[in-house]
Amino acid sequence: MGMRADGRYQVPGLTDEQQRLYRHLLFVGFKSMDDLARLFGPHAVDSLAALRSMGLIYGDPPVTRRPSAALRDSLLDAEMNLRGLQSFIEELDEVYAVGHQVVGGMPVELLSTLEDISRYFEKIHDMASDEIMQLVTHPFLPLSDLDSPAMSAPPDDDHPAKCRVVYEKRVFDNPKARAGLAHSADRGCEIRLADELPHKLLIGDRMLALTPRNPRNHIDSGGMLLVHQGTLMDFLVMIFEAEWERAIPLQSHPALFSDDGLGLDDDERLIVEMLSAGAQMERIAATLGVHKRTADRRIDELKRRAGASTLYQLGIYAARHWLN
């Protein structure tokens, strides 16, 4: 299997147009060449020939093969490539480990002063070049001023690291937390909201992490733990990813949408984005903060505008006209 720039899988050797035709034949089947030409344009005949040459369809009229059989060789090739890549990365990790030994050999350090905690908070933000992951809980404790080096970069000055933040809803009782959210949004962070999070957490490039020493509501705050790369870091990343999946997106991601898609309102873009990710109606309704029937009506309106009668047809239209 191959992967597009947007992270979606596709059949190796197929163009986007051929990919859409193949999915159409899998779902609907072949009706007529006139039907395919109407849906996929003048290149439908060439696309059909490409599918036939790859063994994805056969016969006349064309019939699709079961994908698990037709794509078995592609899957085996991908598995072999993945095993080779995994072995190569493990080799690089061994080289990296030699040059990045943890000082003192300790995977976890205790930071007991606010000065040390703030210093490492800024260091993690400053050094991250790949990704910053953060869980922000109530009560909100600002560890860095907005005019500090870690936070003062102008919104149009691209930080090299991707940024994902989950805020606990109660955090926004604090005006400094609201200012922090606005700053994160300005610098392009993906932001989600959660009713409750297990604890505070900041991870930079999966290399360094900050998290409280003691559980929430413990009588002794106990300082913060500075966690270095290793097994404990892997657990912290798993915790973040689990909370990220459970959290509700704050807004849609504009980069996913074409110029036509940006003409949709904020709720409509969020619905289209969540539908494309496979979200269920209950999750969509919860994200919008409305009853499921209201979410159904919003989707019915999107179908009407797309000239679609089913979610599948809406998805086809959205992929062609609204999404990049």
Length of the chain: 324
Mean pLDDT of 115-121: 89
Q: What's the pLDDT score for residue 280?
A: 76
Residues 171 and 298 in one domain: no
Domain count, the chain: 3
Distance of CA 4 to the CA centre of its chain: 14
Mean pLDDT, the chain, integer: 81
Give the pLDDT confidence score for residue 228 in this predicted structure: 92
pLDDT digits (tens, 9 = 90+) for 68-112: 888 888 888 888 888 888 888 888 877 766 555 555 557 888 888
Q: Mind listing the pLDDT tens digit for each residue in 174-212?
A: 777 777 776 676 777 888 888 889 999 999 999 999 999
Structural domain for 73, as ranges: 1-100
- Please indicate, yes or no, whether residues 137 and 239 belong to a single structural domain of this protein: yes
Q: Which helix or strand (DSSP H or E) is residue 75 part of?
A: helix 72-99
Q: Model's pTM, two decimal places? A: 0.50
- Report the CATH number at residue 112: 3.30.870.10
**pLDDT at position 242 over 60:** yes
pLDDT at 153: 44
Same domain, 283 and 150: no
Residues 212 and 316 both lie in one domain: no
Q: Looking at 51, 74, 100, which one is the last position of a domain? A: 100
Give the CATH number of the domain where residue 272 resides.
1.10.10.10
Res 152: pLDDT: 42
How buried is 276 (Cβ within 10 angstroms: 0-12 exposed, 13-18 middle, 19+ buried)?
A: middle
Within this chain, do residues 139 and 221 fall inside the same structural domain, yes or no?
yes
Interaxial angle between packed helices 16-27 and 44-53, expressed in degrees from 0 to 180 and rounded to the nearest 10: 80
Same domain, 69 and 171: no
pLDDT digits (tens, 9 = 90+) for 42-72: 888 999 999 998 889 988 889 988 888 888 8
CB atoms within 10 A of CB 18: 23
Report pLDDT for 2: 54
pLDDT tens for residues 285-316? 877 778 889 989 999 999 998 898 888 888 88
Of 231, 249, 267, the residue at which a domain comes to its end is 249
Q: Are 147 and 217 contained in the same domain?
A: yes
pLDDT band at 225 (very low <50, low <70, confident <90, very high): very high
Domain match, 47 and 143 both: no
Give pLDDT tens digits for 250-298.
666 666 778 888 888 888 888 887 787 667 787 788 777 788 899 899 9
Q: Which of 100, 134, 157 is the C-terminal boundary of a domain?
A: 100
Task: Indicate whether 95 and 162 sit together in one domain.
Answer: no
Residues 187 and 114 placed together within one structural domain of the fold:
yes
- Which CA distances in Å does 197 have to 19, 200, 240, 249? 40, 8, 10, 15
The predicted-structure confidence for 150-164, as pLDDT tens digits, reads as follows: 444 444 445 567 889
pLDDT confidence of residue 142: 65
- State how far the Cα of 216 lies from the Cα of 199, in Å rounded to an integer: 7
Whether residues 210 and 295 fall in one domain? no
Inform me whether the pLDDT recorded for 234 exceeds 90: yes
Is the domain of 178 the same as that of 241? yes
Q: Residue 9 pLDDT > 50, yes or no?
A: yes
User: Is residue 108 within 8 Å of residue 226, measured between CB atoms?
Assistant: yes
Q: Which residues contact 94 (CB under 8 A, 6 or more apart)?
A: none
